[in-house]
Structure 1
Amino acid sequence: MSDSWVFWALLSAAFAAATAVLAKAGSDGIDPDLATLVRTAVVLVCLLVLVTATGKWNTSEPLPRRTVALLVLSGFATGASWVCYFRALKAGEVSKVAPVDKLSVVLVAVFAVVFLRERLGVREWTGIGLVTAGVVVLVLKR
């Protein structure tokens, strides 16, 4: 299905929304770094079970070094993002933290254009502009 990415992206958004609310409620009264560790451990166990259950440990070819290096860097970026996210949740309201965190949508688009040479049209830039405007509205003081 050519539009299967939409299904998975919407599902990701729903899980991300649940993640934000559950993380805020679950990390109340504990250190945000400890909360991040617990969440990360759960993700690790779930992925170990998934990869093992689906037999994806075996690859026909060795992983290219560049691929491994980029995935390791992505892992560091994910970890840094999660640490910052939990600290933001500790200090602020989830209804404000989560949308500001989604400024990553804007940064992804910019990085994709700069580093991956993706081309975005007027429709995409308009959407990105609207996301940016929404974040600005949320962070402005009254």
Structure 2
Amino acid sequence: MTAPSGWLLWALLSACFAALTAIFAKVGIRGVDSDFATLLRTVFILGVLAPFVWLTGKWTNPLSLSAKTVLFLALSALATGASWVCYFRALQLGHASQVAPIDKLSVVLVAVFAYALLGERPAVQEWLGIALVAAGVLLIALHKAPAA
């Protein structure tokens, strides 16, 4: 078996960290408002990421970026923030084993949005995989679990 290509390795690591995010967050939000927990988490991320970017020499003057780049990064940040607020609220109310997979409905939505907005054209096999993800999300969503 060969080693995964660069993007695949990073995507697999992202999936692992996303899974840990759900577990750690579910424990961490006990006894605290989910919106405050999201803010505190964001502060921690900034506290780790800023020195990392600086120390690895990746800092770029934000004023040198194009207006389009800044606009779309700002929109991405707003979408991320909204996602985190909703995700933490869902974790506080539900089971991590149900919330996290339903959150991954984003896989299906990314494919639809990329098709509509970016002109990406997945092959039939890829659409089948996307449909299977959607079906899996529905199976999880329809399962009746006890209250969190």
Q: Same fold (TM over 0.5)?
A: yes
Match of 1:113 in 2: 115
Deviation at 1:113, TM superposition (A): 0.8
Q: Which residue of 1 aligns with 2:78?
A: 76
Unaligned runs of 5+ in 1: none
State the match for 1:135 in structure 2.
137
The CA RMSD measured in Å over matched residues stands at 1.7
What is the alpha-carbon distance in structure 2 between the residues aligned to residue 2 and residue 89 of structure 1?
A: 32
Counterpart residue type for residue 140 of structure 1:
L
Alignment counterpart, residue 6 of structure 1, candidates 8, 26, 43: 8
How far the C-alpha of 1:8 sits from its partner, in A, is 0.3
Note the alpha carbon deviations across 1:49-101, whole angstroms, 9 max, x for none.
11110112236x92110010000000000000000000000100000000000
Structure 1 residues 104-132: Cα deviation after superposition (integer angstroms, max 9, x where no partner): 00000111111110110011101100010
**1:81-120 alignment to 2 at 5 Å?**
81-120=83-122
When normalised by structure 2's length, the TM-score is 0.90
2-structure distance, mates of 1:80, 1:109? 20
Q: CA deviation at 1:15?
A: 0.3
Looking at structure 1, the residues matched to 141 and 102 of structure 2 have their Cα atoms a distance apart, in angstroms, of 8
Using the alignment, how far apart are the partners of 1:106 and 1:58 within structure 2? 33
Q: After the TM superposition, which segments of 4 or more aligned residues of structure 1 sit over 3 Å from their partners?
A: none
User: Percent identity among equivalent residues?
Assistant: 57
Per the TM alignment, residue 46 of structure 1 is displaced from its structure 2 partner at its CA by 1.2
* Cα distance, 1:140 vs structure 2: 1.4
Count of matched residue pairs: 141
2:27 — aligned with what? 25
TM-score (norm 1): 0.94
SS in 2 for 1:115: helix
Distance (whole Å) between structure 1 residues aligned to residue 99 and residue 60 of structure 2: 39
Give the structure 2 partner of residue 43 of structure 1.
45
Q: Which residue of 2 aligns with 1:63?
A: 65
Residue 2 of structure 1, CA deviation: 8.5
